[in-house]
Amino acid sequence: MTGTVLGVLADDLTGGMETAAMLVAEGIDCAFVTDPDMVEASGPAEAIVVAQKTRVIAPGDAVSRTERAARALLARGARQLFFKYCATFDSTDKGNIGPVADMLMRVTGAPVTGFCPSAPGLKRTVYNGHLFLGTELVSESPKRYDPLTPMTDPDLVRVLQRQTAMKVGLLDHPVIDAGGAALEGAVAEKAGQGIRYFILDTIHDRDLDRIAALTSDWKLMTGNATIVQHYPPVWRARGLLSAPPHRRVLPAVNGKGVVLSGSCAERTLEQLADFEKAHPVLRIDLTAVESAASAVAAALAWAMPKLEDGPVGISTSAAPETVAAAQARYGRDGAAALAERIVGDLAVAFRSAGVRRFVVAGGETSGSVVERLGIRSLMVGPYGGPGIGAAVTEDADPVALCLKSGKLGPVDLFARALASMQNPENAA
């Protein structure tokens, strides 16, 4: 192997961790960092994931931060860059998927690239360019109520075209299903028509195999984490990996455990309710908060006595109507910033109080927690299913984390994740 086979640019920490976990599960030696300055210091690695909190920041800031990471990965010799975003294509008409992709095309010199958000195993599929969550169009799912990136148009060709001056086209399912020379020919024909961005129909896992074979030599590819799992077999078949598969088991971490939740996704609300059956949960109502400091003080006063008896949960998550009320009071960005400030301050206080096991729900929330804890790199364990990826800091007093996407994971994830941190060999 020469250099790094894959450099991943993730637009949030939960997705970045999931991507790294999938590569680790496939036997790839994968490093995970949150700061581009750590890329060079990450040591030999077949893949490197740089996860930054760029999904919903201003497009210009997302572009500049991602470009810095991309150039660091290219300097390490990454033969391909992969821009990772959410399976629900979280973005607005201003970005950030389109603007970041435009920059990466320029930096890599890629002539074309693909967009593959699908995760068929999770019933996130694209057909005729339209994004489905199960049997529902994304525009008819709860995702239409997302407080930051509501998805109200299911046609990803239209969604992406509003974000970029590049010509966007579709590789529909019949040509994806044909694969091989037919698929390569379709790309060449459409590229000759000026199309540079391809939305990729994907409804089966076998479609991902065909897409991986098509794109494994492209300078740039984009999508959800799921497609990344399909690259290692292609790399091995093409002799790009000289080392045998790498097996990684995380060290056990004991100490107090806490769940911190900022996601308002329906799945997270269900997980909180399940966790509360056996553990105390404090729900912070942002519409009644006087200040972040007062909310943090009250939460700590509630939690500290209870931590001696086991894990606790603290949440700023809420149903859509409560989120709307908080946004009416503070503004959309103000409400999100307040929630992240509260959870970030709590994480710092809990770590000082001896908490060493954290489950954090929500991509933006996870970014705030990791940033406030000053974590710049993590050892990521193998993927165990949606939302079950785990990691440990690499220092003398390690902290274990499970950074969970708001929309993913089994209902009983919180308690299971905290328990698995104490015995990773038995993790689900």
Tell me the per-residue pLDDT of 44-58, one tens digit each, with 9 for 90 and over.
899 999 999 999 999
- pTM higher than the cut 0.85: yes
**Whole-number pLDDT of residue 427:** 52
For residue 384, count other CB atoms closer than 10 A to its CB.
17
Rounded Cα–Cα distance for residues 181 and 186 (Å)? 9
Q: Give the model's pLDDT for residue 387.
A: 65
CB atoms inside a 10 Å sphere around CB 47? 27
User: Which residue, chain included where needed, has tokens 């008409």?
Assistant: 93
Distances (CA, A) of 189 to 39, 96, 169, 182: 37, 28, 11, 10
pLDDT of residue 1: 43
Q: Provide the residue ranges of all domains of the chain, joining segments of one domain with +.
A: 6-237, 256-426
For 256-426, CATH number out of 3.40.50.720, 3.40.980.20, 3.40.50.880, 3.40.640.10 equals 3.40.980.20
Residues 6 or more apart in contact with residue 418 via CB below 8 angstroms: 257, 259, 311, 357, 359, 402
- What dotted CATH number matches 6-237? 3.40.50.10840
List of the chain residues with pLDDT < 70: 1-3, 387-388, 425-428
Which value, to the nearest 10 degrees, does the dihedral of the CA atoms of residues 296, 301, 302, 307 take?
Answer: 100
Q: What is the pLDDT of residue 428?
A: 43
Q: What is the pLDDT of residue 147?
A: 81
